[in-house]
Structure formats: C-alpha cells, structure tokens
A and B are shown apart, each in its own frame.
Chain A
C-alpha cells in the first residue's frame, strides 16, 4: 500500500537559519508531489508542486524553494528563514490521472523565533 512520510513533526528554528523538510512516498511510482502551507485556523496554500524528477513549479514567490532529487522524494528548503515562514507545512501526493484524491503527510509544525 502507498504511504507518505513527512518529517520532522515539529521544528523551532531561529530567524536566518536554514530549513530542510523532507517528504517521501512509498508504494507508488511517478507521483505528483505537493507542498502546502497552512496558517493557523486557515485553509491550505499551495507552495510548490512537481510532476517528475527535477520538475518544480512554484505557486507563490517567497523565501522557500523545493527540489525533487528522486522520484518519490520532495524537499522543501530555505537558506534563511523569516518569521513569516512559521506555519504548518503539509506534503501530499496523487496520481497524475486526477481521478483520486490527495494523500497528505502528517505535517510539520514550523515555528521561527
């Protein structure tokens, strides 16, 4: 069966420090991968998505970047965190057919201090 792993679960980082959040999917190949951010009590904002290795599309200009070094690995990074980068980050995957819903990871709570 397909599973998605996202880590770490929580992270407290100082302003100006780097960031690396990792997401891996098991049990499927060539998934579409997504990074979303959720502000407290709000909906989800799509940050990046990828339909294949090395293919990254950015939805919102910001202090973050994403990479997909392997088929089932999606990484969210920042060179220097801002206070405004705090939030709940969710990774998700789906097939490319659009016939199924997204499967989400358990999320990373990032607090920039």
Chain B
C-alpha cells in the first residue's frame, strides 16, 4: 500500500500564482522527500526534510512537515509555465525497511 498520498491529484493555476500540494503518510518516518517528474522523464529530487525539521526552503520551493499530523506540504511560489510537471512525495520509513515509498503524485499545470 502507498505510504504517501498527495492531494490534490491535479492542480491548474495561472503563471505567477502559488501552487500548494499536500502529502499524508501513515507511519513514522526518517525523512520525507519531494520529487518532480516532467512528462515521460525520470524523477528529479527537489527537497529532503528530516523528521526533526519543520520547514525547509529551496529557491521558490517551501516544504513543511507536521509529524503529529503525519503530513507535509509543498508550496511553489510565483509559478512559471516550466513548473508544469507531476510532483511526488516519498517517505523513508523504518517500517518500510528504510526504502523510499512514493505517493500517486499531483499533476500541476501552470498556464501562461
């Protein structure tokens, strides 16, 4: 079964707007990671946030982690058409043998 579940499944916004997507998971984690996948391509690692961290930034990306609610969010600020992609959260959990388990992803469309 999937450890991480993203919400929403799809998101359509105008260029310049912010995009927020959420990820919920079931078991305690070592860290949570966000990846981006352009259509038909491999995944690109965006951010890793450890279980003892609450917020992390990388450029226009902001990730939060709430371990009490077992949830994380990814915020993309001032979106660009080039941000159009699928975004996946993945959890590294001891219960899963410290292997990465992926959610189903959020498809983001940024309209110019």
**Contacts from A to B (Cβ < 8 Å):** 6, 34, 36, 41-46, 49, 59, 88, 90, 92, 98-107, 109
Contacts and interface: CB of A to CB of B under 8 A. Distances in A.
A44 B45 contact: no
Interface string B40-60: 111111101000000000000
A108 to B, nearest CB: 10
Interface residues of B, number: 25
Contact of A101 (B42, B45, B101): B45
A6 B42 CA distance: 10
Given A44-B102, A102-B100, A107 B30 contact: no
Contacts of A44: 43, 88, 90, 102
Contacts of A101: 33, 35, 45-46, 48
Main secondary structure of the interface of B (DSSP, over half): strand
Nearest to B4: A43
Contacts of B100: 34, 46, 102
Interface string B1-34: 0100000000000000000000000000011010
Nearest to A107: B42
Contacts of A34: 99-100
Given A90-B42, A106-B42, A42 B104 contact: yes
A88 B43 CA distance: 12
A100 to B, nearest CB: 7
A72 B6 CA distance: 33
A28 to B, nearest CB: 15
A109 B40 CA distance: 8
B30 A49 contact: no
A46 to B, nearest CB: 6
B24 to A, nearest CB: 14
B105 A43 contact: yes
Given A98-B92, A109-B40, A46 B98 contact: no
